[in-house]
Amino acid sequence: MRIASILPLALAASLTASPALAAPASILGKWKTDDAKSVITFYECGTAICGKIDRFLVKEPDGGIRDTKNPDKTKRGEMLLGKRIFWNLTPDGDAFEGKGYSPEEGRYFNADLAREGTKLKVKGCVSVFCRTVTFTRL
């Protein structure tokens, strides 16, 4: 009798706990940046997710766009097209956390990405200073 009354409670508890254990919505695929200058493609890389500059939506200068603001002077001549700018993105609650790089600012940052339907909130933090931009699913 006692087991029969506990079983429904255990079942209800397991059903209500399931959403908290659910993985965040997928961010794989192509996303347009908030400034409409480029498309970022997120893809599986090992056990994590990475993101690279897939194409530019603005006219490139002759010879392409280079990583001129990279803090590592030896990388300033590298092409930005195809450059990985997000890496080690792994699920954390309802978002993904990992690392990112902003070629426009020449800064590396801690990244937190959360999908909201066709929008992707990308929060980047350096120390205690954070900035959030919104990408749009293509």
CB 49 within 8 A of CB 72: no
Residue-level pLDDT at 29: 98
Model pTM? 0.82
Indicate the pLDDT class of residue 21, thresholds 50, 70 and 90: low
Indicate the pLDDT class of residue 23, thresholds 50, 70 and 90: confident
φ/ψ of 97, rounded to 5, equals -120, 145
> Tens of pLDDT along 50-96?
999 999 999 999 999 999 999 999 999 999 999 999 999 999 999 99
Comparing 84 with 8, the larger pLDDT belongs to: 84
Position 12 pLDDT exceeds 90: no
Position 40 pLDDT exceeds 90: yes
In the numeric block, which tokens belong to residue 89? 């993105």
Domains, the chain, ranges and CATH?
A: 25-137 (2.40.128.520)
> Tens of pLDDT along 93-133?
999 999 999 999 999 999 999 999 999 999 999 988 999 99
Adjacent-strand bridge partners of 131? 124
Residue 120 CB partners (closer than 8 Å, separation 6+)? 27, 31, 113, 114, 134, 135, 136, 137
